[in-house]
Chains A and B, each alone.
Chain A
């Protein structure tokens, strides 16, 4: 049995960044009961790392999103293929690419609706994950589609880009909404 329960909970809470009362609930047996010496002993733990991650050669893509509400792809200087997600070189030609601004519209090529997500997405379900073909790009990109009625999602649906007001320079800065609808959905 755990001695100094309050201290143990406080330390565990700080360590795994979870409120003490939730930890107390999960460890009720160990805190209140008297498990056998050989009973499996569980511990609260966490593995986390913080980053200052560099986008490297595709930094411009995210600056254009964040600062200018613009979506860029990259065109291969040799075969002309327009990549989105962008890349600074073409893996077919092994040649460099050049930045090219893409259109606001796209077509849904396939999609799915997530009803049960990870803990990061608890407040977002249900949501649509789709592969869309953006006007001017030769590849598809994964992005969320926001719909008033999620059941209206379908392959072939025409959508248009919408930018977040406060952009951070990541893929969360934009999403798509039906092209024939002028209203915001978020």
Chain B
């Protein structure tokens, strides 16, 4: 397999509503920024992988067709990935295979999502309709009629986990909410930068037991794109490409009631194991410098610590209490703010987190830079009930001085100016 690097990243800010842009206009903005960041022209892109989750959010089936046209990629290879909340990460996974296989040298992965063009006229805002659009993802015969929501599908494994281990506690979850809102204050693209106290979180209203208001991510609109490149091209474009050294993708049983152990995010365990194996990681807690995890809900972040082997099952809550996952800790989680702080523009989220991981290992993450970050994990989870996980290992590798031997692709500007 060929090596794959991230050589460009562009994202729109994540916002509650982008009333002034359609989904394809947002996609255009992200594509433009990513191409500029990579220092290449759109003509040099070999193919595009789109991450777009929900047709009812976009008010359009096959929305990728219209994005592809709008950003001027006509006749290039293209495929859309739609794996629920894991759409962004899974799209990067597919883009990775296009380059690892040797098929293309440059691939763009573009995630985009609207969510709040949905509108409930009775209450005068989007949320109930947005929830309804998501609820169509629960099995229509057996699960949709029970009123399952996205939050509920995370709460079910979490309550079973709490029943078994006595954790995470409401306070530990609140600490994750405080951390991710706070981290977002360092991210200019974030939707919910906020300095909260644990009491603020505990005092906010219950949405879906045990998740209080601030335990939930918000719906966001936005677009993010990364440019992936083969080793040959990556080295010609950048002094500090961010290498994707491990990938994993897993889809669990759809009905969580059929799974062996409902307290475990098994798809994360499996995707993580594959990504670690490929990247040669044996002790994740010691070897990883940071992680961008899928904190759709605070409790999900804590269960993910366990799934990825940062600690033993049942001990996730202690990592937040001990400060391990804080910015100043040994394994900061969600320096970007994650879904809770930066936002969850579903198809774009995993692409944004992959791009953020690239910025970290390239030393370009600004105020949210984790000192000396060389190795990070990215996780994208999708429903129903955390069925899907895409896991990616993003790494800095010292440059082998072989650049002069490599011919840059025709028409490309030579080097990106480093910040």
Contact in complex: A131, B262 (CB < 8 Å): yes
**Which among A42, A119, A140 is the interface contact of B128 at CB below 8 angstroms?**
A119
Contact in complex: B159, A118 (CB < 8 Å): no
* Chain A residues whose CB sits within 8 angstroms of the CB of B71 once the complex forms: none
Contact in complex: B159, A129 (CB < 8 Å): no
Contact in complex: A112, B152 (CB < 8 Å): yes
Q: B412 in the interface, Cβ–Cβ < 8 Å?
A: no
* Chain A residues whose CB sits within 8 angstroms of the CB of B132 once the complex forms: 118-120
Contact in complex: B145, A129 (CB < 8 Å): no
Contact with A along B359-396 (1 / 0, CB 8 A): 00000000000000000000000000000000000000
* Chain B residues whose CB sits within 8 angstroms of the CB of A94 once the complex forms: none
* Chain B residues whose CB sits within 8 angstroms of the CB of A26 once the complex forms: 119, 121, 124
Stretch at the interface among B202-210, B224-232, B276-284, B334-342: B202-210
Contact with B along A60-104 (1 / 0, CB 8 A): 000000000000000000000001010000000000000000000
Give CA–CA (A83, B142) in the complex, Å. Answer: 13
Q: Nearest Cβ in chain B — how far from A13, in angstroms?
A: 10
* Chain B residues whose CB sits within 8 angstroms of the CB of A1 once the complex forms: none
Contact with A along B68-105 (1 / 0, CB 8 A): 00000000000000000000000000000000000000
Contact in complex: B20, A117 (CB < 8 Å): no
Contact in complex: A139, B152 (CB < 8 Å): no
Residue in A closest to B139 when the chains form the complex, CB atoms: A85
Q: A124 in the interface, Cβ–Cβ < 8 Å?
A: yes
Q: A45 in the interface, Cβ–Cβ < 8 Å?
A: yes
* Chain B residues whose CB sits within 8 angstroms of the CB of A120 once the complex forms: 132, 135, 147
Q: Nearest Cβ in chain A — how far from B114, in angstroms?
A: 12
Give CA–CA (A135, B146) in the complex, Å. Answer: 20
**Which among A45, A116, A142 is the interface contact of B143 at CB below 8 angstroms?**
A142
Contact in complex: A55, B141 (CB < 8 Å): yes
**Which among B160, B206, B258 is the interface contact of A110 at CB below 8 angstroms?**
B160
Q: Nearest Cβ in chain A — how far from B179, in angstroms?
A: 23
Q: Which of B245-269 contact A (CB under 8 A)?
A: 255-258, 262
Give CA–CA (A170, B121) in the complex, Å. Answer: 28
**Which among B121, B123, B152, B163 is the interface contact of A129 at CB below 8 angstroms?**
B152
Contact in complex: B146, A143 (CB < 8 Å): yes
Q: A23 in the interface, Cβ–Cβ < 8 Å?
A: yes
Contact in complex: A110, B142 (CB < 8 Å): no
Chain A contact residues: helix, strand, loop or mixed: mixed
Q: Nearest Cβ in chain B — how far from A9, in angstroms?
A: 12
* Chain B residues whose CB sits within 8 angstroms of the CB of A129 once the complex forms: 146-148, 152, 156
Q: Which of B104-121 contact A (CB under 8 A)?
A: 119-121
Residue in A closest to B164 when the chains form the complex, CB atoms: A155
Q: Which of A146-186 contact B (CB under 8 A)?
A: 155-156, 170-172
Interface size class of A (residues with CB under 8 A): 35 or more
Residue in A closest to B147 when the chains form the complex, CB atoms: A121
Q: A114 in the interface, Cβ–Cβ < 8 Å?
A: yes
Q: A113 in the interface, Cβ–Cβ < 8 Å?
A: yes
Give CA–CA (A47, B55) in the complex, Å. Answer: 10
Q: Which of B174-219 contact A (CB under 8 A)?
A: 205-210
Contact in complex: A117, B120 (CB < 8 Å): no
* Chain B residues whose CB sits within 8 angstroms of the CB of A144 once the complex forms: 146-147
Chain B interface residue count, CB cutoff 8 Å, equals: 44
Q: Nearest Cβ in chain A — how far from B203, in angstroms?
A: 15
Count, A-B residue pairs, CB within 8 A: 128
> Are A112 and B155 also in contact (CB < 8 A) when A118-B131, A119-B128 are?
yes
Q: Which of A26-44 contact B (CB under 8 A)?
A: 26, 40, 42
Q: Nearest Cβ in chain B — how far from A119, in angstroms?
A: 4
Contact in complex: A124, B257 (CB < 8 Å): no
**Which among B120, B128, B145, B262 is the interface contact of A172 at CB below 8 angstroms?**
B145
Give CA–CA (A130, B156) in the complex, Å. Answer: 7
* Chain B residues whose CB sits within 8 angstroms of the CB of A85 once the complex forms: 139, 141-142, 255
Give CA–CA (A178, B258) in the complex, Å. Answer: 23
* Chain A residues whose CB sits within 8 angstroms of the CB of B127 once the complex forms: 116
Give CA–CA (A168, B391) in the complex, Å. Answer: 43
> Are A112 and B159 also in contact (CB < 8 A) when A47-B56, A119-B129, A171-B141 are?
yes
Give CA–CA (A26, B126) in the complex, Å. Answer: 12
Q: B122 in the interface, Cβ–Cβ < 8 Å?
A: yes
* Chain B residues whose CB sits within 8 angstroms of the CB of A83 once the complex forms: 258
Contact in complex: B147, A114 (CB < 8 Å): yes
Q: Nearest Cβ in chain B — how far from A102, in angstroms?
A: 14
Give CA–CA (A83, B124) in the complex, Å. Answer: 42
Contact in complex: A25, B124 (CB < 8 Å): yes
Q: A2 in the interface, Cβ–Cβ < 8 Å?
A: no
Q: Nearest Cβ in chain A — how far from B247, in angstroms?
A: 26
**Which among B59, B131, B159, B257 is the interface contact of A142 at CB below 8 angstroms?**
B257
Give CA–CA (A140, B255) in the complex, Å. Answer: 8
* Chain A residues whose CB sits within 8 angstroms of the CB of B139 once the complex forms: 85
* 25 contacting pairs across A/B (C-beta < 8 A): A25-B124, A26-B119, A26-B121, A45-B59, A85-B141, A110-B157, A114-B149, A114-B151, A115-B206, A116-B207, A117-B149, A118-B147, A119-B120, A119-B129, A119-B132, A131-B257, A131-B262, A140-B255, A140-B257, A142-B146, A142-B148, A156-B163, A170-B141, A170-B145, A171-B145
| Chain B interface (Cβ < 8 Å from any Cβ of A) | 19-20, 56, 59, 119-124, 127-129, 131-132, 135, 139, 141-143, 145-149, 151-152, 155-157, 159-160, 163, 205-210, 255-258, 262
Other than the given A26-B121, A40-B20, 11 more pairs (CB < 8 A) read A22-B121, A26-B124, A55-B141, A85-B255, A116-B149, A117-B149, A118-B129, A127-B147, A129-B152, A142-B257, A172-B145
